[in-house]
């Protein structure tokens, strides 16, 4: 469940978010589309608590973020465990193996014993189809494989919301389809594993084809606002 | 192996530049033709020997300046002063940098065997200085104590054969300073130096009786006996006609000791007395066991080799210890500069600019001598701290550059996973930046290894100092020079290989490629 109310954010003189209101159900897939510089990526960073905002509130994965960056650090750490983020450039850690990339946060942030973290990490890598590349370095992987590592890393702390920034911009059409399928699978109960919490996906893209492949709802951004309510009425503008 | 051979031959080539000089047909005729007598001394020796006029006009004064002027005018030429580091006066004379070394050179068997020495122009007494309240009254009571003096002096020769720890200095003020500070227990030096720099100090007491007597003489190249004859003739005349007395009198140096000058100017010159008997040693007394005083060139034997290894050990220890300060402290400065608030940033930048922008030699002096009234550091502590603090400024910039070279997204990614700033640094940024910094860090460590030779100014005998001492003892720069160079290389080369291995092990990306 995501609920955004009256979100404003400016960088200096430039207004980037100008009153964003939106809601998304648990387990839904939201595609955010819009021109470059319309505020899509900024919204994503606000949702993860990476940057503070000036006005409004965000409710996400059971947490509530207030304006002005007043959220305590401890709360932010828990929020970030619950809200995974996949960057456009992925930013995998090049000095770590694939498995270490995935297990770093559970070990360091949550203090999960190495053995347990690695067991969970391997399971996640299986899930995204990389079970056999655990000890490879990111530099040894293809673009599509790296994308999957980034997704696994973002989910490693048991996230219930996954934010993705332009996940397919560097991929060819075939790989794009694969990633779209993977994301749909994840949203629908993670690999058919019904015991897992349902995953909410928020995907920023300017690739309308991906938005179509993913299904779900679409928020269209223009000049810092969501301009077209989705057909099922989950957004209000 | 080929690299080694190349390095060795380059070193040998450079060292041959220091090797004695070309013979001259007739030195006196040369000087006359040139119209000037070039004489070498060290302004750092200061008053009353050779020093710059207080007026700041750049003119030099001192009793040796006047002696040189008098000698020159009696030779019918002008005198020209050549500034030269005191400890290298003899090699420089041999190289032909000047005709005459005239700067408190003592008549020692060592010098006598290496160069020609003129007749004495000054008689000095070795004065033993102790701290006020000390019960020590003679050299013999100093067993096991730390005694300071200058390198290449008769005082050093006297101390070498005794069971004391000799602490060698480069300047004459510092030994007394350290005596007052309690870093040494006594200072043995010429009375001229003692009277000027030691005895006036409140906490220092000079013992009244001379430990030994010696003379200052002019140094002349071995192949110029005719110049020696001319110098001796004119000096004898100056002693006879009172010209020398007038000069020494002007500097308040004429005392009862100088009565010996006339006696000592006899053609057959005695070696200086090295008797530890108090008061006046008879001028005829000569040193029976000249070997102990370094008259014969010593061979490069196992004992020398061990001393070199020890020097290398000191160099390595100081370098490793100071780098162990520089590395983490530099990292701290870099982090303060990148991530700190305004105050932290300003402080870090100021520190870096000040320590990088001033000579490390100066910093060592300030740390060891300047701050002594506040913090009294031993030579090793001061050396390690001084080099460490200086190199921290450089390492800070290395770390900063390596951190800034990382994509900004690495930090974002770590933070988005819930890592704290510290955790992000520790697990994500620093492991990567360290790998980027490794070549520059290795570079700096190798530079530090060699910069550590600077700490000899605060009495630490490390590899380079050991080499200069040995070169004097052995009368040879080539062998000690090669040994010294070889040891430095033996320390730095494996290190660069090690760093390369480490770099490869930490490497996670392919090398940058062109085309």
Q: Which two tokens stand for residue A29?
A: 């897939």
pLDDT tens for B350-409 read 999 999 999 999 999 889 888 877 887 888 999 999 999 999 999 999 999 999 999 989
Please tell me which residue, B233 or A189, carries the higher pLDDT value: B233
CA distance B432 to chain A (A): 6
Residue range B122-213, CATH number:
3.40.190.10
Q: Which residue has the higher pLDDT, B294 or B318?
A: B318
Segment B178-222, tens digit of pLDDT: 999 889 999 999 999 999 889 999 999 999 989 999 999 999 999
What digits encode the pLDDT tens for the residues B477-495? 788 899 999 999 999 999 8
- Chunked into runs of 10 residues, chain A (237 residues) has average pLDDT values of 91 89 89 85 90 92 87 87 91 94 93 93 91 92 90 90 87 84 77 61 87 86 76 44
B249-267: average pLDDT: 83
Between strands A200-204 and A29-34, the pairing is parallel
User: B122-131 and B213-216: which strand pairing?
Assistant: antiparallel
* pLDDT (0 to 100) of residue A230: 47
Angstrom distance (rounded) from CA A224 to CA B85: 74
- Residues of chain B with pLDDT > 70, as a percent, come to 85
Domain A2-228 falls under CATH 3.40.50.300: yes
Residue B513 has pLDDT above 80, yes or no: no
User: CATH topology of B19-120+216-267 equal to that of B122-213?
Assistant: yes
Query: Where along chain A do its domains lie?
Result: 2-228
In this prediction, residues B268-272 reach a mean pLDDT of 43
pLDDT 10s digits, B18-73: 444 444 458 888 899 999 999 999 887 777 898 877 666 668 889 999 999 999 99
**Confidence band, pLDDT 50/70/90 cuts, at residue B119:** very high
Nearest C-alpha neighbor of A226 from the set A202, A210, A209: A202
Report whether pLDDT(B282) > 60: no
pLDDT score recorded for residue B265: 66
Which pLDDT score, from 0 to 100, does residue A191 have?
47
Check residue B60 and give its pLDDT: 87
Of B330 and B296, the one with more pLDDT: B330
* Whole-angstrom distance, CA of residue B156 vs CA of residue B473: 12
Buried b (16+ CB within 10 A) or exposed e, A16-37: bbeebbbbbeebbbbbbbbeee
Is the pLDDT reported for residue B280 higher than 50?
no
Structure-token match 């009565």, residue found: B259
Do residue A108 and residue B435 have CB atoms under 8 angstroms apart? no
pLDDT at B475: 66
Domain coordinates of chain B in residue numbers? 19-120+216-267, 122-213, 302-506
Contacts of B437 in chain A (CB under 8 A): none
B124-174: pLDDT as tens digits: 999 999 999 999 888 889 989 999 999 888 899 899 889 999 999 887 788
Q: Which residues share a beta bridge with A22?
A: A4
CA distance B411 to chain A (A): 9
Using CA atoms, how far apart are residues B398 and B326, in angstroms rounded to an integer? 11
Within 8 A of B412 by CB-CB distance, chain A residues are 50, 87, 91
Secondary-structure class of domain B19-120+216-267 per CATH: alpha beta
CA dist A147 → A92, B11, B412 (Å): 9, 56, 17
Highest mean pLDDT among A43-57, B103-117, B332-346: B332-346
Contacts of A92 in chain B (CB under 8 A): 413
Q: How confident is the model over B411-430, as pLDDT tens digits?
A: 999 999 989 889 999 999 99
pLDDT at res. B442? 92
Give the CATH number of domain B302-506: 1.10.3720.10
pLDDT of residue A38: 80
pLDDT for B387: 96
Q: A109 and B423 in contact by Cβ < 8 A? A: yes
Q: Is the predicted pLDDT of residue B277 greater than 80, yes or no?
A: no
Nearest by CB to residue A50, choosing from B415, B431, B432, is B415
Residue B266: pLDDT band with limits 50, 70, 90: low
DSSP state for residue B298 in the 8-state scheme = P
Give yes or no for B418 touching A (CB within 8 A). Answer: yes
Whether the predicted pLDDT of B123 surpasses 90: yes
Using the beta-carbon criterion (under 8 Å), do A89 and B409 form an inter-chain contact? yes
Q: Tell me B36's DSSP state.
A: E
Share of chain B above pLDDT 90, in %: 52
Q: Helix B243-250 and helix B63-75: axis angle, to 10°?
A: 150
In the predicted structure, residue B319 carries a pLDDT above the cut 70: yes
B-chain CB neighbours of A154 within 8 Å are 416-417
Q: Is residue A38 helix, strand or coil?
A: coil
Check: CB of residue B49 under 8 Å from CB of residue B104.
yes
Please state, rounded to an integer, the average pLDDT across all residues of chain B.
84
């Amino acid at each position: 469940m995501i609920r955004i109310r009256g979100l404003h954010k400016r960088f200096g003189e430039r207004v980037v978010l100008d009153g964003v209101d939106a809601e998304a159900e648990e387990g839904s897939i939201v595609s955010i589309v819009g021109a470059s510089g319309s505020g899509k990526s900024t919204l994503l960073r606000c949702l993860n608590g990476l940057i503070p905002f000036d006005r409004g509130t965000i409710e996400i994965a059971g947490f509530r973020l207030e304006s002005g960056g007043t959220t305590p650090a401890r709360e932010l750490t828990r929020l970030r465990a619950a809200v995974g983020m996949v960057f456009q450039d992925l930013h995998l850690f090049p000095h770590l193996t694939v498995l270490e990339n995935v297990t770093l946060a559970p070990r360091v942030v949550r203090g999960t014993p190495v053995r347990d973290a690695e067991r969970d990490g391997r399971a996640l890598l299986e899930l995204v189809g990389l079970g056999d590349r655990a000890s490879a370095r990111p530099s040894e992987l293809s673009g599509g494989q790296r994308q999957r590592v980034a997704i696994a890393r973002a989910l490693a702390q048991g996230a219930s919301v996954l934010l993705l920034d332009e996940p397919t911009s560097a991929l060819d059409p075939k790989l794009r389809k694969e990633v779209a399928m993977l994301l749909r699978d994840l949203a629908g109960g993670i690999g058919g594993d019904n015991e897992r919490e349902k995953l909410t996906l928020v995907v920023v893209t300017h690739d309308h084809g991906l938005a179509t492949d993913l299904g779900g709802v679409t928020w269209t951004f223009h000049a810092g606002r969501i301009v077209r309510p989705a057909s099922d009425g989950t957004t209000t503008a | 192996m080929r690299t080694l051979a190349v390095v060795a031959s380059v070193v040998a080539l450079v060292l041959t530049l220091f090797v004695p000089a070309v013979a001259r047909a007739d030195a006196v005729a040369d000087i006359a033709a040139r119209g000037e007598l070039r004489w070498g001394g060290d302004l750092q020796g200061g008053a009353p020997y050779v020093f710059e006029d207080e007026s700041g006009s750049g003119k030099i004064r001192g009793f040796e300046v006047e002696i040189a002027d008098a000698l020159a005018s009696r030779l019918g030429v002008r005198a020209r002063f050549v500034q030269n580091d005191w400890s290298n006066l003899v090699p420089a004379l041999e190289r032909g940098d000047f005709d005459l070394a005239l700067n408190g050179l003592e008549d020692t068997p060592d010098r006598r065997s290496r160069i020609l020495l003129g007749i004495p122009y000054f008689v000095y007494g070795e004065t033993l200085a102790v701290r006020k309240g000390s019960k020590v009254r003679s050299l013999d009571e100093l067993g096991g104590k730390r005694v300071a003096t200058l390198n290449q002096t008769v005082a050093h020769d006297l101390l070498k054969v005794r069971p004391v720890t000799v602490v060698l200095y480069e300047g004459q003020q510092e030994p007394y300073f350290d005596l007052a500070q309690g870093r040494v227990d006594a200072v043995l030096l010429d009375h001229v130096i003692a009277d000027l720099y030691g005895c006036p100090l409140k906490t220092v007491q000079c013992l009244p009786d001379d430990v030994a007597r010696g003379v200052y003489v002019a140094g002349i190249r071995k192949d110029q006996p005719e110049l020696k004859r001319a110098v001796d003739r004119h000096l004898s005349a100056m002693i006879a006609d009172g010209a020398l007395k007038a000069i020494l009198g002007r500097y308040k140096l004429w005392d009862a000791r100088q009565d010996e000058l006339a006696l000592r100017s006899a053609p057959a010159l005695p070696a200086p007395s090295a008797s530890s008997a108090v008061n006046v040693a008879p001028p005829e007394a000569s040193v029976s066991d000249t070997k102990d005083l370094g008259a014969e060139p010593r061979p490069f034997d196992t004992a020398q080799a061990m001393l070199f290894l020890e020097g290398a050990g000191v160099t390595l220890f100081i370098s490793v210890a100071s780098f162990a300060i520089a590395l983490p402290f530099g990292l701290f400065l870099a982090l303060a500069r990148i991530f700190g608030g305004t105050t932290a940033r300003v402080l870090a930048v100021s520190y870096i600019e000040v320590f990088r922008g001033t000579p490390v030699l100066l910093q060592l002096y300030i740390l060891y001598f300047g701050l002594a009234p506040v913090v009294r550091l031993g030579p090793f502590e001061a050396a390690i701290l001084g080099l460490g603090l200086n190199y921290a400024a450089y390492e800070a910039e290395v770390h900063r550059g390596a951190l800034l070279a990382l994509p900004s997204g690495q930090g974002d990614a770590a933070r988005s996973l819930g890592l704290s700033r510290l955790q992000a640094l520790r697990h994500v940024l620093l492991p990567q930046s360290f790998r980027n910094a490794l070549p520059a860090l290795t570079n700096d460590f190798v530079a530090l290894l060699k910069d550590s030779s600077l700490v000899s100014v605060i009495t630490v005998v490390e590899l380079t100092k050991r080499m200069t001492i040995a070169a004097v003892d052995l009368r040879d720069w080539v062998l000690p020079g090669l040994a010294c160079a070889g040891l430095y290389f033996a320390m730095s080369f494996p290190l660069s290989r090690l760093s390369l291995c480490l770099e490869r092990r930490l490497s996670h990306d392919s090398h940058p490629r062109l085309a």
